[in-house]
Amino acid sequence: MSDLEPRLRGFSTRAIRAASRVPRIDQQPTSVPIYQTATFASSDADELGRVAADPRAGYAYSRISNPTTTALGDAYAELAGGEAGVALASGMGAIHAALASLLETGDRVVAPIAIYGSTRAQLLRIFGGFGVRVDSVDTTDLDAVGAALAEAPTRVLYAETIANPTTYLADHAALAELAHRHGATYVVDNTFASPYVCRPLELGADLVVESATKFLGGHSDVIAGVVAGSAARIADVTRVQIDTGATLGPLEAFLVLRGILTLAIRVERHARTAAGLASWLEAQPGVRSVLYPGLSSHPQHDLAVRQFRPGVSGGMLAFEIDGGRAAGRAVIDALQLPELTASLGSVHTMVVHPPSTSHRQLSEADLERTGITPGLLRVSVGLEDLEDLQADFGEALMVARRSADAARAPVPAVAAN
């Protein structure tokens, strides 16, 4: 107790004071501490007013700002090449805050045909319900993008670095130039790549978002999102986060920061194993096609070479098998190593059938338009040994072929009595 404090006699008063007293620390911690507190005390009323009004001036309430979550936003900004960054409660929260900081009723968004299902739903149902016009275009076709932007005033051109789940690539330099030529803001979801593989801000993007649940966190134990860009744009995004409550907790921010420590090592391993598995899958019977940007057979391999870190194309691939939906489900059910879960970017390999999971909201016609075929499987390659994954996929593909052969076999005629 300080000599300046009155002598406290009541047990409850002394307990509250004693358990809230922060120890003096003269040494710098080597990990960002978890500031697990909802409130911060100020020295006087003027200071409280300043920090409550401006999250950059200090800390008052963790919905507004918290040192651990601030550290994550700052770290992501540095990795992504932005002036500033902000951490939010989820990837979808990050996408919402980024778009809501830019859009008003009557504005227009041009977005990819091939896009994450929940992003599509947010654009059409949430923003569309507020009077925002949303038009889709094949963002791999630059002429089509230019025509779409010229068709009507556009506030946002939205893209994914690596499309979910088709692995089609966005040419950021070209798309940013088109967006800016037509007065639009270029916003990019970089989740499938991570800043280790690609940094859209350095290629002309205005805002970049990621689900930090995925490669940044990397261990399937946290839900978080991040946004980076100029200081002015991130100030706008932060205001949306504060007012809508998409607040990331300090423990979750700590877990993502811990994941970032090993991001480079993990993504190198993800990419190396993904490249090996993709090459192996191309040679397997029953596999119609494999989509992995690091393969020379990928339709945009040259763009991957120009835009990605040399020799690193990420850990996401897709492949189509004979037999359509039934064969796709048969492969997933036969796999032993991958986790049966709808996520990605983890130490665990994860395989999903997009038509029945991540893109289940789409009709058959919309699936066909986006390039999602009935037998398409999306693979988030984990950190298991390549040889074990090849053996497991080999067995699963064999089971699917046997199932397809049995389905095609003629039914024996039954003799009449």
**Would you say the C-alpha torsion 97, 217, 275, 331 has a positive or negative sign?**
negative
User: 172: Cβ–Cβ under 8 A, 6 or more apart, which residues?
Assistant: 159, 161, 186, 188, 198, 200, 203, 204, 205, 307
- List Cα–Cα distances, 150 to 143, 183, 385, in angstroms: 11, 10, 49
Decide if 160 contacts 154 (C-beta within 8 A).
no
Q: How far apart are CA 299 and CA 293, in angstroms?
A: 8
Q: How far apart are CA 277 and CA 267, in angstroms?
A: 15
- List Cα–Cα distances, 354 to 238, 268, 344, 365, 372, in angstroms: 32, 25, 12, 14, 8
Decide if 156 contacts 175 (C-beta within 8 A).
no
Q: How far apart are CA 386 and CA 274, in angstroms?
A: 8
Name the residues annotated as catalytic.
63, 116, 189, 214
DSSP string, 269-307: HHHHHHHHHHHHHHTSTTEEEEE-TTSTTSTTHHHHHHH
